[in-house]
Protein backbone atom coordinates (compact mmCIF):
# COMPACT_ATOMS: atom_id res chain seq x y z
CA UNK A 1 0.00 0.00 0.00
CA UNK A 2 1.16 3.55 -0.62
CA UNK A 3 1.65 5.89 2.34
CA UNK A 4 -1.48 7.82 1.30
CA UNK A 5 -3.54 4.60 1.13
CA UNK A 6 -2.34 3.71 4.62
CA UNK A 7 -3.47 7.12 5.88
CA UNK A 8 -6.89 6.56 4.29
CA UNK A 9 -7.11 3.12 5.91
CA UNK A 10 -6.25 4.74 9.24
CA UNK A 11 -9.11 7.23 8.76
CA UNK A 12 -11.57 4.44 7.96
CA UNK A 13 -10.56 2.50 11.06
CA UNK A 14 -10.80 5.64 13.21
CA UNK A 15 -14.35 6.16 11.91
CA UNK A 16 -15.26 2.66 13.08
CA UNK A 17 -13.59 3.17 16.47
CA UNK A 18 -15.48 6.46 16.95
CA UNK A 19 -18.79 4.81 16.08
CA UNK A 20 -18.06 1.91 18.45
CA UNK A 21 -17.19 4.36 21.24
CA UNK A 22 -20.54 6.12 20.79
CA UNK A 23 -22.55 2.87 20.57
CA UNK A 24 -20.55 0.91 23.17
CA UNK A 25 -19.40 -1.40 20.38
CA UNK A 26 -16.20 -3.43 19.96
CA UNK A 27 -12.77 -2.44 21.31
CA UNK A 28 -10.24 -0.79 18.98
CA UNK A 29 -8.05 -3.91 18.78
CA UNK A 30 -11.03 -6.01 17.64
CA UNK A 31 -12.03 -3.39 15.07
CA UNK A 32 -8.50 -3.27 13.65
CA UNK A 33 -8.31 -7.08 13.45
CA UNK A 34 -11.69 -7.22 11.66
CA UNK A 35 -10.67 -4.50 9.22
CA UNK A 36 -7.57 -6.39 8.13
CA UNK A 37 -9.32 -9.77 8.06
CA UNK A 38 -11.27 -8.57 5.01
CA UNK A 39 -8.30 -6.78 3.36
CA UNK A 40 -5.76 -9.44 2.58
CA UNK A 41 -3.84 -7.07 0.31
CA UNK A 42 -2.52 -5.26 3.41
CA UNK A 43 0.88 -6.77 4.24
CA UNK A 44 2.40 -6.97 7.69
CA UNK A 45 4.29 -3.69 7.29
CA UNK A 46 1.12 -1.94 6.12
CA UNK A 47 -0.76 -3.30 9.11
CA UNK A 48 1.89 -2.20 11.55
CA UNK A 49 2.09 1.29 10.03
CA UNK A 50 -1.70 1.75 9.94
CA UNK A 51 -2.13 0.44 13.46
CA UNK A 52 0.43 2.85 14.76
CA UNK A 53 -1.20 5.79 12.91
CA UNK A 54 -4.55 4.87 14.45
CA UNK A 55 -3.24 4.56 17.99
CA UNK A 56 -1.14 7.73 17.71
CA UNK A 57 -4.30 9.60 16.70
CA UNK A 58 -6.40 8.04 19.46
CA UNK A 59 -3.79 8.86 22.13
CA UNK A 60 -3.70 12.48 21.00
CA UNK A 61 -7.40 13.16 21.61
CA UNK A 62 -9.10 13.25 25.00
CA UNK A 63 -12.59 13.83 23.63
CA UNK A 64 -14.25 11.63 21.03
CA UNK A 65 -13.60 13.38 17.69
CA UNK A 66 -16.31 14.07 15.16
CA UNK A 67 -14.86 11.63 12.62
CA UNK A 68 -11.73 9.82 11.49
CA UNK A 69 -10.57 12.66 9.24
CA UNK A 70 -10.70 15.18 12.09
CA UNK A 71 -8.64 12.74 14.19
CA UNK A 72 -6.09 12.18 11.41
CA UNK A 73 -5.84 15.92 10.75
CA UNK A 74 -5.04 16.41 14.45
CA UNK A 75 -2.21 13.90 14.10
CA UNK A 76 -1.06 15.65 10.93
CA UNK A 77 -0.47 18.83 12.96
CA UNK A 78 2.26 16.86 14.75
CA UNK A 79 3.32 14.98 11.60
CA UNK A 80 3.10 17.38 8.63
CA UNK A 81 4.21 14.60 6.23
CA UNK A 82 0.66 13.21 6.56
CA UNK A 83 -0.80 16.40 5.07
CA UNK A 84 0.80 15.51 1.74
CA UNK A 85 -1.40 12.39 1.53
CA UNK A 86 -4.64 14.40 1.35
CA UNK A 87 -5.71 14.82 -2.27
CA UNK A 88 -2.53 13.15 -3.50
CA UNK A 89 -3.91 10.03 -5.17
CA UNK A 90 -6.88 7.78 -5.83
CA UNK A 91 -6.52 5.51 -2.78
CA UNK A 92 -5.55 8.28 -0.40
CA UNK A 93 -7.77 10.69 1.55
CA UNK A 94 -9.52 13.43 -0.44
CA UNK A 95 -8.33 17.04 -0.46
CA UNK A 96 -8.82 18.96 2.79
CA UNK A 97 -11.89 21.21 2.50
CA UNK A 98 -11.68 24.84 3.64
CA UNK A 99 -14.16 24.32 6.49
CA UNK A 100 -12.50 21.14 7.84
CA UNK A 101 -10.85 21.49 11.23
CA UNK A 102 -8.62 19.07 13.14
CA UNK A 103 -9.95 17.64 16.40
CA UNK A 104 -8.73 19.28 19.63
CA UNK A 105 -5.81 17.62 21.37
CA UNK A 106 -6.26 16.53 25.00
CA UNK A 107 -5.24 13.87 27.48
CA UNK A 108 -8.62 13.10 29.03
CA UNK A 109 -12.22 13.93 28.14
CA UNK A 110 -12.88 17.59 28.99
CA UNK A 111 -15.70 16.69 31.39
CA UNK A 112 -13.30 14.50 33.39
CA UNK A 113 -10.96 17.35 34.33
CA UNK A 114 -12.62 17.85 37.74
CA UNK A 115 -13.05 14.17 38.74
CA UNK A 116 -9.40 13.50 37.82
CA UNK A 117 -8.16 16.58 39.65
CA UNK A 118 -10.22 15.72 42.74
CA UNK A 119 -8.70 12.23 42.62
CA UNK A 120 -5.23 13.81 42.50
CA UNK A 121 -4.49 12.58 38.99
CA UNK A 122 -2.50 15.45 37.52
CA UNK A 123 -0.87 16.06 34.16
CA UNK A 124 2.08 13.76 34.80
CA UNK A 125 -0.23 10.88 35.68
CA UNK A 126 -2.46 11.57 32.69
CA UNK A 127 0.51 11.64 30.32
CA UNK A 128 1.77 8.34 31.73
CA UNK A 129 -1.70 6.87 31.22
CA UNK A 130 -1.24 7.43 27.51
CA UNK A 131 2.21 5.90 27.12
CA UNK A 132 2.57 2.50 25.53
CA UNK A 133 2.07 -0.27 28.08
CA UNK A 134 4.90 -2.71 28.74
CA UNK A 135 4.50 -6.47 28.39
CA UNK A 136 4.60 -8.19 31.76
CA UNK A 137 4.32 -11.83 32.65
CA UNK A 138 3.71 -13.65 35.91
CA UNK A 139 5.72 -16.82 36.34
CA UNK A 140 3.53 -19.66 37.54
CA UNK A 141 5.32 -21.41 40.42
CA UNK A 142 3.06 -24.45 39.94
CA UNK A 143 4.90 -25.09 36.66
CA UNK A 144 8.31 -23.38 36.75
CA UNK A 145 10.72 -21.23 38.71
CA UNK A 146 11.36 -17.62 37.80
CA UNK A 147 15.00 -18.51 37.04
CA UNK A 148 13.92 -21.15 34.49
CA UNK A 149 11.65 -18.74 32.65
CA UNK A 150 14.19 -15.94 32.82
CA UNK A 151 16.82 -18.21 31.25
CA UNK A 152 14.52 -19.08 28.34
CA UNK A 153 13.21 -15.61 27.55
CA UNK A 154 15.86 -13.33 26.18
CA UNK A 155 15.37 -9.67 27.10
CA UNK A 156 13.27 -10.54 30.16
CA UNK A 157 13.89 -8.23 33.09
CA UNK A 158 12.94 -8.86 36.70
CA UNK A 159 10.29 -6.60 38.16
CA UNK A 160 11.47 -5.31 41.51
CA UNK A 161 7.92 -4.86 42.81
CA UNK A 162 6.20 -8.05 41.60
CA UNK A 163 7.94 -11.12 43.04
CA UNK A 164 7.01 -13.45 40.16
CA UNK A 165 7.03 -10.79 37.46
CA UNK A 166 9.20 -10.34 34.38
CA UNK A 167 8.99 -7.49 31.84
CA UNK A 168 9.58 -7.96 28.11
CA UNK A 169 9.73 -5.63 25.10
CA UNK A 170 6.12 -4.79 24.10
CA UNK A 171 6.15 -6.63 20.75
CA UNK A 172 7.47 -9.96 22.03
CA UNK A 173 5.35 -12.82 20.69
CA UNK A 174 4.64 -15.14 23.59
CA UNK A 175 1.48 -17.12 22.94
CA UNK A 176 3.26 -19.78 20.89
CA UNK A 177 6.24 -20.08 23.21
CA UNK A 178 6.60 -23.65 24.58
CA UNK A 179 6.85 -22.33 28.15
CA UNK A 180 3.60 -20.45 27.71
CA UNK A 181 1.92 -23.53 26.31
CA UNK A 182 2.98 -25.59 29.29
CA UNK A 183 1.63 -22.96 31.68
CA UNK A 184 4.97 -21.72 33.01
CA UNK A 185 3.77 -18.11 32.81
CA UNK A 186 0.69 -15.96 32.25
CA UNK A 187 0.63 -12.60 30.53
CA UNK A 188 -0.41 -10.25 33.33
CA UNK A 189 0.36 -6.62 34.07
CA UNK A 190 2.56 -6.04 37.12
CA UNK A 191 -0.29 -4.05 38.71
CA UNK A 192 -2.65 -7.03 38.53
CA UNK A 193 0.04 -9.22 40.03
CA UNK A 194 0.65 -6.78 42.88
CA UNK A 195 -3.01 -6.21 43.81
CA UNK A 196 -3.56 -9.98 43.86
CA UNK A 197 -1.06 -10.08 46.76
CA UNK A 198 -3.34 -7.85 48.84
CA UNK A 199 -5.64 -10.77 49.59
CA UNK A 200 -2.95 -12.60 51.58
CA UNK A 201 -4.19 -15.85 50.01
CA UNK A 202 -2.57 -18.94 51.55
CA UNK A 203 -2.82 -22.73 51.09
CA UNK A 204 -6.01 -24.30 52.42
CA UNK A 205 -8.16 -21.16 52.31
CA UNK A 206 -11.64 -20.85 50.86
CA UNK A 207 -11.68 -17.95 48.41
CA UNK A 208 -14.45 -16.44 46.31
CA UNK A 209 -13.32 -14.48 43.26
CA UNK A 210 -16.66 -12.79 42.66
CA UNK A 211 -15.85 -11.05 39.36
CA UNK A 212 -13.36 -13.56 38.03
CA UNK A 213 -13.69 -12.76 34.31
CA UNK A 214 -11.21 -14.91 32.39
CA UNK A 215 -9.46 -15.76 35.64
CA UNK A 216 -6.29 -13.64 35.60
CA UNK A 217 -6.42 -13.06 39.35
CA UNK A 218 -7.96 -16.48 40.08
CA UNK A 219 -4.81 -18.12 38.72
CA UNK A 220 -2.57 -15.73 40.66
CA UNK A 221 -4.47 -16.58 43.86
CA UNK A 222 -4.30 -20.32 43.15
CA UNK A 223 -0.52 -20.04 42.76
CA UNK A 224 -0.26 -18.20 46.10
CA UNK A 225 -2.35 -21.00 47.62
CA UNK A 226 0.01 -23.61 46.11
CA UNK A 227 -3.09 -25.11 44.50
CA UNK A 228 -4.44 -26.16 47.93
CA UNK A 229 -7.87 -25.09 49.20
CA UNK A 230 -10.90 -23.94 47.21
CA UNK A 231 -11.58 -21.04 44.86
CA UNK A 232 -15.06 -20.30 43.59
CA UNK A 233 -14.60 -18.16 40.50
CA UNK A 234 -17.85 -16.46 39.50
CA UNK A 235 -18.83 -13.95 36.86
CA UNK A 236 -21.95 -12.90 34.99
CA UNK A 237 -20.25 -13.09 31.59
CA UNK A 238 -20.37 -16.61 30.20
CA UNK A 239 -17.83 -15.90 27.44
CA UNK A 240 -15.20 -14.60 29.85
CA UNK A 241 -15.74 -17.30 32.45
CA UNK A 242 -15.47 -20.01 29.82
CA UNK A 243 -11.84 -19.03 29.22
CA UNK A 244 -10.91 -19.91 32.77
CA UNK A 245 -11.05 -23.69 32.55
CA UNK A 246 -8.50 -24.17 29.74
CA UNK A 247 -6.24 -21.57 31.34
CA UNK A 248 -6.49 -23.34 34.71
CA UNK A 249 -5.69 -26.70 33.09
CA UNK A 250 -2.65 -25.25 31.37
CA UNK A 251 -1.51 -23.63 34.62
CA UNK A 252 -1.92 -26.83 36.66
CA UNK A 253 -4.66 -25.25 38.81
CA UNK A 254 -7.25 -27.76 40.01
CA UNK A 255 -8.80 -25.89 42.95
CA UNK A 256 -10.84 -23.35 40.92
CA UNK A 257 -14.49 -24.06 40.15
CA UNK A 258 -16.51 -21.66 38.02
CA UNK A 259 -20.02 -20.40 38.72
CA UNK A 260 -21.99 -18.34 36.22
CA UNK A 261 -24.14 -15.67 37.90
CA UNK A 262 -27.29 -13.93 36.75
CA UNK A 263 -27.09 -10.21 37.52
CA UNK A 264 -29.47 -9.48 40.39
CA UNK A 265 -29.52 -13.11 41.56
CA UNK A 266 -25.94 -13.32 42.83
CA UNK A 267 -26.99 -13.59 46.50
CA UNK A 268 -29.21 -16.63 45.92
CA UNK A 269 -26.72 -18.29 43.63
CA UNK A 270 -23.94 -17.91 46.20
CA UNK A 271 -26.09 -18.62 49.28
CA UNK A 272 -24.18 -21.86 50.05
CA UNK A 273 -21.06 -19.73 50.64
CA UNK A 274 -22.62 -17.26 53.10
CA UNK A 275 -20.09 -16.40 55.87
CA UNK A 276 -17.83 -19.19 54.56
CA UNK A 277 -14.96 -17.48 52.73
CA UNK A 278 -11.60 -16.54 54.21
CA UNK A 279 -11.25 -14.07 51.35
CA UNK A 280 -13.69 -12.59 48.87
CA UNK A 281 -12.08 -10.77 45.98
CA UNK A 282 -14.29 -8.18 44.32
CA UNK A 283 -12.37 -7.13 41.21
CA UNK A 284 -15.26 -4.96 40.18
CA UNK A 285 -16.35 -3.67 36.77
CA UNK A 286 -15.20 -0.05 36.53
CA UNK A 287 -14.43 2.90 34.27
CA UNK A 288 -11.02 1.39 33.47
CA UNK A 289 -9.28 4.77 33.75
CA UNK A 290 -6.20 2.92 35.01
CA UNK A 291 -5.87 0.96 31.77
CA UNK A 292 -5.95 3.78 29.23
CA UNK A 293 -2.40 2.77 28.18
CA UNK A 294 -3.89 -0.40 26.71
CA UNK A 295 -7.27 0.96 25.57
CA UNK A 296 -6.82 4.68 24.93
CA UNK A 297 -10.15 4.80 23.07
CA UNK A 298 -11.85 3.82 26.35
CA UNK A 299 -11.67 7.56 27.23
CA UNK A 300 -14.16 8.22 24.44
CA UNK A 301 -16.66 5.71 25.81
CA UNK A 302 -17.01 7.22 29.27
CA UNK A 303 -19.84 9.51 30.29
CA UNK A 304 -20.83 10.76 33.76
CA UNK A 305 -23.85 8.43 33.54
CA UNK A 306 -21.71 5.37 32.79
CA UNK A 307 -19.48 6.12 35.76
CA UNK A 308 -22.55 6.47 38.01
CA UNK A 309 -23.72 3.07 36.81
CA UNK A 310 -20.34 1.52 37.62
CA UNK A 311 -20.40 3.11 41.08
CA UNK A 312 -23.80 1.62 41.91
CA UNK A 313 -22.88 -1.80 40.50
CA UNK A 314 -19.66 -1.77 42.53
CA UNK A 315 -21.59 -0.90 45.69
CA UNK A 316 -24.02 -3.75 45.08
CA UNK A 317 -21.24 -6.28 44.38
CA UNK A 318 -19.33 -5.23 47.51
CA UNK A 319 -22.48 -5.95 49.54
CA UNK A 320 -22.96 -9.33 47.84
CA UNK A 321 -19.30 -10.16 48.53
CA UNK A 322 -19.40 -9.00 52.17
CA UNK A 323 -22.10 -11.56 52.98
CA UNK A 324 -19.75 -14.35 51.93
CA UNK A 325 -16.87 -13.33 54.22
CA UNK A 326 -16.55 -15.39 57.38
CA UNK A 327 -15.93 -13.70 60.76
CA UNK A 328 -12.29 -12.56 60.78
CA UNK A 329 -12.06 -12.92 56.99
CA UNK A 330 -11.56 -10.14 54.46
CA UNK A 331 -13.11 -8.63 51.39
CA UNK A 332 -10.50 -7.34 48.96
CA UNK A 333 -11.92 -4.65 46.72
CA UNK A 334 -10.06 -3.87 43.49
CA UNK A 335 -10.75 -1.53 40.59
CA UNK A 336 -8.51 -0.62 37.65
CA UNK A 337 -9.77 2.93 38.06
CA UNK A 338 -8.02 6.00 39.42
CA UNK A 339 -11.20 7.87 40.29
CA UNK A 340 -11.95 8.24 43.99
CA UNK A 341 -15.67 7.74 43.35
CA UNK A 342 -14.85 4.14 42.41
CA UNK A 343 -12.07 3.73 45.00
CA UNK A 344 -11.70 5.49 48.34
CA UNK A 345 -15.30 6.69 48.37
CA UNK A 346 -16.61 3.15 47.98
CA UNK A 347 -14.55 2.15 51.00
CA UNK A 348 -15.79 5.11 53.05
CA UNK A 349 -19.40 4.36 52.14
CA UNK A 350 -18.99 0.67 53.00
CA UNK A 351 -17.52 1.49 56.42
CA UNK A 352 -20.43 3.84 57.09
CA UNK A 353 -22.87 1.06 56.26
CA UNK A 354 -20.85 -1.50 58.27
CA UNK A 355 -19.20 0.35 61.18
CA UNK A 356 -18.01 -2.91 62.75
CA UNK A 357 -15.74 -3.72 59.77
CA UNK A 358 -12.26 -2.17 59.43
CA UNK A 359 -10.11 -1.14 56.48
CA UNK A 360 -6.66 -2.72 56.85
CA UNK A 361 -3.93 -1.21 54.65
CA UNK A 362 -2.78 -3.95 52.29
CA UNK A 363 0.98 -4.40 52.61
CA UNK A 364 2.19 -4.26 49.04
CA UNK A 365 5.59 -3.90 47.41
CA UNK A 366 4.39 -0.81 45.49
CA UNK A 367 1.71 1.86 45.52
CA UNK A 368 0.74 4.91 47.55
CA UNK A 369 -1.75 5.08 50.41
CA UNK A 370 -5.03 6.60 49.29
CA UNK A 371 -7.95 6.84 51.73
CA UNK A 372 -8.64 3.39 53.13
CA UNK A 373 -6.56 1.63 50.49
CA UNK A 374 -3.55 1.73 48.20
CA UNK A 375 -3.30 3.12 44.69
CA UNK A 376 -0.94 2.10 41.90
CA UNK A 377 -0.32 4.42 38.96
CA UNK A 378 1.64 4.11 35.70
CA UNK A 379 3.58 7.27 36.56
CA UNK A 380 4.79 6.22 40.01
CA UNK A 381 4.68 2.44 39.89
CA UNK A 382 5.10 1.66 36.20
CA UNK A 383 1.98 -0.51 36.30
CA UNK A 384 -1.59 -0.10 35.11
CA UNK A 385 -3.60 2.07 37.49
CA UNK A 386 -5.37 0.28 40.34
CA UNK A 387 -7.04 0.95 43.66
CA UNK A 388 -7.13 -1.85 46.22
CA UNK A 389 -8.56 -2.01 49.74
CA UNK A 390 -8.86 -4.77 52.32
CA UNK A 391 -12.00 -4.73 54.45
CA UNK A 392 -11.89 -7.03 57.45
CA UNK A 393 -15.01 -8.50 59.08
CA UNK A 394 -14.91 -8.59 62.88
CA UNK A 395 -14.50 -12.01 64.53
C1 LIG B 1 -12.38 -6.05 36.08
S2 LIG B 1 -13.21 -7.34 35.33
C3 LIG B 1 -12.54 -8.76 36.13
C4 LIG B 1 -11.17 -9.15 35.70
C5 LIG B 1 -10.69 -10.45 36.28
N6 LIG B 1 -10.83 -10.52 37.71
C7 LIG B 1 -9.23 -10.72 35.93
O8 LIG B 1 -8.35 -10.61 36.79
O9 LIG B 1 -8.98 -11.03 34.77
C10 LIG B 1 -14.80 -7.23 36.03
C11 LIG B 1 -15.69 -8.42 35.78
O12 LIG B 1 -16.92 -8.23 36.47
C13 LIG B 1 -17.88 -8.97 35.78
N14 LIG B 1 -19.23 -8.62 36.26
C15 LIG B 1 -20.04 -7.63 35.86
N16 LIG B 1 -21.21 -7.68 36.52
C17 LIG B 1 -21.14 -8.73 37.36
C18 LIG B 1 -22.03 -9.33 38.30
N19 LIG B 1 -23.25 -8.82 38.51
N20 LIG B 1 -21.64 -10.41 38.98
C21 LIG B 1 -20.40 -10.92 38.78
N22 LIG B 1 -19.52 -10.43 37.89
C23 LIG B 1 -19.88 -9.35 37.20
C24 LIG B 1 -17.59 -8.66 34.33
O25 LIG B 1 -18.15 -9.60 33.47
C26 LIG B 1 -16.06 -8.66 34.32
O27 LIG B 1 -15.56 -9.91 33.92
Residue 124 in any domain: the answer is no
Q: Say yes or no: ipTM exceeds 0.90.
A: yes
Residue 176 sits in the same domain as residue 84: no
Cβ of 261 below 6 Å from ligand 1: yes
Residue 183 sits in the same domain as residue 235: no
To test the pocket of ligand 1, the residue of 197, 222, 236 to mutate (highest count of ligand atoms within 8 Å of its CB) is 236
Residue 313 in any domain: the answer is yes
- For residue 340, say whether it is annotated as part of any ligand binding site: no
The closest of 272, 210, 267, 264 to 241, measured between CA atoms, is 210
Give CA separation, 229 vs 35, 245, 269, 278, in Å. 45, 17, 21, 11
Structure confidence by residue, pLDDT tens digits, 222-251 = 999 999 999 999 999 999 999 999 999 999
Q: Of 119, 153, 187, which residue sits at a domain end?
A: 187
Nearest ligand 1 atom, CA 212: 6
Q: Residue 295: how many CB atoms within 10 A of its CB?
A: 15
Residue 139 in any domain: the answer is yes
CATH number at residue 272: 3.40.50.150
Atom 13, ligand 1: residue with shortest CA distance = 211
Residue 98 sits in the same domain as residue 153: no
Question: Crossing angle, helix 216-224 and helix 190-197, to 10 degrees?
Answer: 50
To test the pocket of ligand 1, the residue of 191, 193, 211 to mutate (highest count of ligand atoms within 8 Å of its CB) is 211
* Reported confidence tier of residue 171, pLDDT bands at 50, 70, 90: confident
pLDDT of residue 170 exceeding 90, the answer is no
The closest of 9, 4, 108, 5 to 68, measured between CA atoms, is 9
Q: What is the pLDDT of residue 276?
A: 98
Residue 117 in any domain: the answer is no
Query: Which of the residues 211, 286, 336, 395 is marked catalytic?
Result: 336
Nearest ligand 1 atom, CA 264: 19
Q: How far is the CA of 207 from the centre of ligand 1 (A)?
A: 16
Residue 198 sits in the same domain as residue 177: no
**Dihedral sign of CA atoms 320, 324, 328, 330 in order:** negative
Encode 214-230: b = buried (16+ Cβ within 10 Å), e = exposed: bbbbbbbbbbbbebebb
Residue 57 in any domain: the answer is yes
Residue 140 sits in the same domain as residue 200: no
Residue 149 sits in the same domain as residue 289: no
Global pTM value: 0.95
Residue 42 sits in the same domain as residue 179: no
Residue 303 sits in the same domain as residue 270: yes
Residue 82 sits in the same domain as residue 152: no
Q: What is the pLDDT of residue 80?
A: 95
* Reported confidence tier of residue 305, pLDDT bands at 50, 70, 90: very high
| 336 given a catalytic annotation | yes
Residue 153 sits in the same domain as residue 81: no
CATH number at residue 156: 3.30.70.1170
Residue 172 sits in the same domain as residue 227: no
- For residue 175, say whether it is annotated as part of any ligand binding site: no
- Give the integer Cα–Cα distance in Å for 49 and 45: 6
Cβ of 285 below 6 Å from ligand 1: yes
Q: Of 59, 88, 106, which residue sits at a domain end?
A: 106
State the total domains in the chain. Answer: 3
Residue 248 in any domain: the answer is yes
Structure confidence by residue, pLDDT tens digits, 82-113 = 999 999 899 999 999 999 999 999 999 999 99
Residue 206 sits in the same domain as residue 86: no
Residue 169 in any domain: the answer is yes
The domain in which residue 199 lies consists of 190-392
Amino acid sequence: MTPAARTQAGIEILDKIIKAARDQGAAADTIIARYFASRRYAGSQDRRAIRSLVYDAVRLLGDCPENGRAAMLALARRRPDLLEHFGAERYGPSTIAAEETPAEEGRAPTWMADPLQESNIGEWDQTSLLARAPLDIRVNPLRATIEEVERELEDAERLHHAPMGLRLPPDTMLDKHPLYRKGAFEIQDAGSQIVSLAAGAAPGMTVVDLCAGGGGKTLALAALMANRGRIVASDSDRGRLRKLEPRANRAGVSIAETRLLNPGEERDQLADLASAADIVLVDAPCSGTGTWRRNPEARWRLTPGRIENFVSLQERLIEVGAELVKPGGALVYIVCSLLDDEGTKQVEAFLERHPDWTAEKPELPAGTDRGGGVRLTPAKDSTDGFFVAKLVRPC
